């Protein structure tokens, strides 16, 4: 997991310091119990107050130090965890940003969402809930055993053997008996089902299959519940072992301390100390069973995130000398590459004042040709731009040269003005209205105003109006090459032809490519 380590290792020293401070906090709890037990036992003998003074001060010291150290440990470990989480998520976003759309063809949305959100967040539990508590239990246990060993060496050796065995046995049992096989698959299935249900809520109500959607989600949840129950049983068994070794240690300590007291090798005031210390020695194990039962899930998440971080980013092909633009785009037996999809080769040519219309039946690969042109898909054959292979055009050059309308273009839940200014941030209201006039929307927008809120998913407008708003935004971009994928969708044939003529006339000095299932004519 070398890709993941580069985000974690810089924070490793802070995480280790936090674990040590957390362990010292638990050790303060050990000191507090030991001093308190001794103080109560000694106070029952009514000695001079000066005999108790040191123990009284020690109780105050341990009591205050425990809270202060715990607070320090939490601040450091959570600060490091959140900083690491931020770096990992930024790294994931950068990796996804650098991928071509073909990378996402075989990925389910639930899988991507899980990696970005749940998996990356779950990684923090590796040290917040597992590593740091385990180190804290080790430190506090060592401190308590040290006190017992000083008072009763033989008993200290016995309890140390029990402690070491429990320190490793409880995590092994928790991990070994946990049931995490299939958990990721079921969680991703639920993610996908919920996303699809959210996207298709209107269709499910119209066609009456919302019950089937809920049934599918409930079925996946039931499987996940069974997995969680089995994991809970493993954690419960580990907790039982924790209480078993704690109780056994207390019984052994009580029996041994009584025997040592009768042998006059252990002072009476120390009997309570020896008997009570096992309670706090094993108290550090409290959260470990539940945490370690999730270890395999956490490690699966770590591998999933590391796999995504190791994905090679899309290589931008930079070149030295740029050919002078002739405004010619040519396809020569071009075939976009898509998994499990066969597309017929296409040849065609667009140049300034001579637009190219790509038409054909649904599924013929029209949009894929455009994606290949703009670098979203790999392809066979040849696609050239001003005589230059399209694959050699950098993403920066595409941004500068192309104005593109894709089928999946999105309207944001903000004003009309802000949506259109995405195409040209410096555009004035007059330029925006001119662009709207080209798509026959200026009259409507003049009535409602540019400040009108489009609404989530453009619900305030019809399908044709939304499509024309997207087209206006693309025209406002004003680039030498205009690439339009189904710009006249949702429009009737007559209006589509009128707007096509307007757009064609606007692009007399540009190179225009239009993908359309409608039979349109461009001058």
* In the chain, domain spans: 2-309, 329-515
CATH 1.20.1560.10 fits domain 2-309: yes
- Residue 513: both structure tokens together: 């490519």
Segment among 108-117, 208-217, 334-343, 395-404 with least mean pLDDT: 108-117
Most confident residue range from 75-79, 188-192, 196-200, 363-367: 75-79
Name the fold adopted by 329-515: Rossmann fold (3.40.50)
- What's the sign of the alpha-carbon dihedral 86, 90, 409, 470? positive
Long-range contacts for 50-54 (Cβ within 8 Å, ≥24 apart)? none
240 pLDDT more than 90: no
- Please count the residues of the chain: 523
Kindly state the average pLDDT of the residues 451-478: 84
Q: Is 334 helix (H, G, I), strand (E, B) or coil?
A: strand
**DSSP assignment string, 21-69:** HHHHHHHHHHHHHHHHHHHHHHHTT---HHHHHHHHHHHHHHHHHHHHH
Contacts with 414 (C-beta within 8 Å, 6 or more apart), sequence order: 453, 454
Instruction: Determine the Cα–Cα distance for residues 260 and 148; give it in Å rounded to an integer.
Output: 13
Tokens 């907790």, located at residue: 239
315 pLDDT more than 90: no
pLDDT digits (tens, 9 = 90+) for 21-56: 988 998 999 999 999 999 999 988 888 888 888 889
Question: What pLDDT, on the 0 to 100 scale, is given for residue 121?
Answer: 80
Segment among 102-106, 361-365, 504-508 with least mean pLDDT: 102-106
Q: Comparing C-alpha atoms, which of 396, 331, 319 is closest to residue 370?
A: 331
320 pLDDT more than 50: no
479 pLDDT more than 70: yes
Question: What pLDDT, on the 0 to 100 scale, is given for residue 482?
Answer: 93
Q: Is 140 exposed, middle or buried (CB count within 10 Å of its CB: 0-12, 13-18, 19+)?
A: buried
The overall average pLDDT reported for the chain is: 84
pLDDT digits (tens, 9 = 90+) for 134-179: 888 898 899 999 999 999 999 999 999 999 999 888 888 877 776 5
Q: Are 159 and 249 in contact (CB under 8 A)?
A: yes
454 pLDDT more than 90: no
CB atoms within 10 A of CB 252: 16
Q: Give the single-character DSSP code of 270.
A: G
421 pLDDT more than 60: yes
323 pLDDT more than 70: no
Instruction: Determine the Cα–Cα distance for residues 478 and 267; give it in Å rounded to an integer.
Output: 92
Question: What pLDDT, on the 0 to 100 scale, is given for residue 404?
Answer: 92
Q: Cα angle at 216 between 212 and 218, to 5 degrees?
A: 115
309 pLDDT more than 90: no
**CB contact burial 67-92 (16+ within 10 A = b; e otherwise):** eebbebbbebbeebbeebeeebbebb
Q: Catalogue the E-assigned strands of 406-523.
A: 481-485, 511-515
pLDDT digits (tens, 9 = 90+) for 48-89: 888 888 889 999 999 999 999 999 999 998 898 888 888 888
Residue 206 confidence class, pLDDT cut points 50, 70, 90: confident
- Residue 21: both structure tokens together: 């401070």
340 pLDDT more than 80: no
Higher pLDDT, 425 or 289: 425
Kindly state the average pLDDT of the residues 191-205: 71
> Where is 443: in which H helix or E strand?
helix 442-448
357 pLDDT more than 70: yes
Question: What pLDDT, on the 0 to 100 scale, is given for residue 44?
Answer: 87
Question: What percent of the chain has a predicted confidence (pLDDT) above 70?
Answer: 89
Question: What pLDDT, on the 0 to 100 scale, is given for residue 420?
Answer: 93
Q: Catalogue the E-assigned strands of 326-471.
A: 329-336, 346-350, 356-358, 379-385, 388-389, 402-405
Q: Comparing C-alpha atoms, which of 184, 178, 162, 189 is closest to residue 250?
A: 162
428 pLDDT more than 90: yes
Q: Comparing C-alpha atoms, which of 138, 8, 145, 195 is closest to residue 83?
A: 8
Find the radius of gyration of the CA atoms of the chain.
Answer: 35
Q: Comparing C-alpha atoms, which of 355, 292, 322 is closest to residue 484?
A: 355
pLDDT digits (tens, 9 = 90+) for 265-282: 888 889 999 999 998 888
499 pLDDT more than 80: yes
**CB contact burial 374-404 (16+ within 10 A = b; e otherwise):** bbbbebeeebbbbebebeebeeebbeebbbb
Segment among 177-181, 379-383, 412-416, 441-445 with least mean pLDDT: 177-181
Question: What pLDDT, on the 0 to 100 scale, is given for residue 113?
Answer: 67
CB atoms within 10 A of CB 1: 14
Question: What pLDDT, on the 0 to 100 scale, is given for residue 182?
Answer: 60
501 pLDDT more than 60: yes
Residue 362 confidence class, pLDDT cut points 50, 70, 90: confident
329-515 matches 2-309 in CATH topology: no
Tokens 């054909």, located at residue: 360
**DSSP assignment string, 80-129:** HHHHHHHHHHHHHHHHHHTS-GGGGTTS-HHHHHIIIIIIHHHTTHIIII
């Amino acid at each position: 997991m070398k890709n993941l380590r580069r985000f974690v290792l810089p924070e490793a020293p802070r995480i280790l310091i936090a674990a040590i401070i957390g362990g010292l906090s638990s050790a303060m709890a050990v000191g507090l119990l030991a001093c308190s037990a001794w103080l109560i036992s000694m106070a029952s003998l009514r000695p001079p107050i000066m005999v108790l003074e040191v123990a009284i001060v020690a109780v105050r010291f341990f009591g205050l130090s425990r809270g202060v150290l715990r607070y320090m440990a939490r601040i450091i470990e959570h600060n490091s965890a959140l900083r690491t989480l931020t770096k990992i998520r930024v790294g994931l976003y950068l990796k996804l940003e650098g991928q071509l759309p073909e990378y996402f063809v075989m990925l389910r949305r639930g899988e991507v969402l899980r990696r970005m959100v749940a998996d990356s967040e779950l990684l923090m539990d590796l040290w917040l809930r597992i590593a740091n508590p385990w180190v804290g239990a080790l430190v506090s246990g060592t401190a308590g055993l040290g006190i017992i060993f000083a008072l009763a060496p033989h008993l200290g050796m016995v309890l140390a053997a029990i402690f070491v065995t429990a320190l490793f046995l409880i995590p092994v049992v928790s991990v070994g008996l946990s049931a995490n096989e299939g958990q990721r698959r079921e969680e991703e299935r639920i993610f996908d089902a919920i996303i699809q249900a959210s996207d298709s809520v209107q269709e499910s109500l119209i066609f009456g299959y919302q019950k089937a959607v809920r049934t599918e989600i409930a079925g996946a949840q039931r499987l996940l519940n069974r997995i969680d129950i089995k994991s809970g049983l493993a954690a419960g068994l580990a907790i039982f072992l924790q209480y078993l070794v704690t109780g056994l240690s207390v019984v052994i300590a009580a029996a041994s301390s009584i025997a040592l007291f009768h042998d006059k090798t252990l002072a009476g005031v120390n009997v309570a100390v020896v008997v009570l210390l096992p309670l706090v020695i094993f108290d550090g194990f409290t959260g470990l069973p539940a945490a370690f039962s999730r270890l395999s899930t956490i490690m699966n998440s770590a591998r999933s995130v590391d796999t995504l971080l190791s994905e090679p980013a899309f290589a931008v092909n930079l070149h030295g000398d740029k050919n002078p633009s002739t405004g010619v785009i040519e396809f020569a037996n071009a075939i976009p590459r898509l998994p499990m999809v066969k597309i017929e080769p296409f040849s065609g040519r667009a140049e300034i004042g001579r637009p190219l219309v790509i038409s054909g039946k649904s599924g013929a690969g029209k949009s894929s040709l455009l994606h290949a042109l703009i670098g979203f898909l790999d392809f066979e054959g040849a696609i050239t731009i001003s005589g230059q292979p399209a694959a050699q055009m950098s993403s920066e050059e595409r941004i500068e040269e192309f104005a593109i309308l894709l089928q999946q273009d999105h309207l944001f839940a903000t004003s009309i003005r802000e949506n259109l200014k995405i195409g040209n941030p410096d555009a004035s209201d007059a330029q925006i209205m001119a662009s709207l006039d080209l798509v026959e929307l200026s009259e409507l927008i003049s009535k409602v105003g540019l400040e009108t809120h489009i609404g989530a998913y453009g619900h305030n407008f019809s399908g044709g109006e939304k499509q024309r708003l997207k087209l206006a935004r693309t025209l406002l971009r004003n680039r030498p090459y205009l690439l339009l994928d189904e710009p006249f969708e949702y429009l009737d044939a007559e209006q589509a032809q009128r707007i096509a003529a307007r757009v064609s006339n606007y692009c007399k000095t540009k190179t225009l490519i239009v993908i359309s299932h409608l039979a349109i004519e461009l001058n």
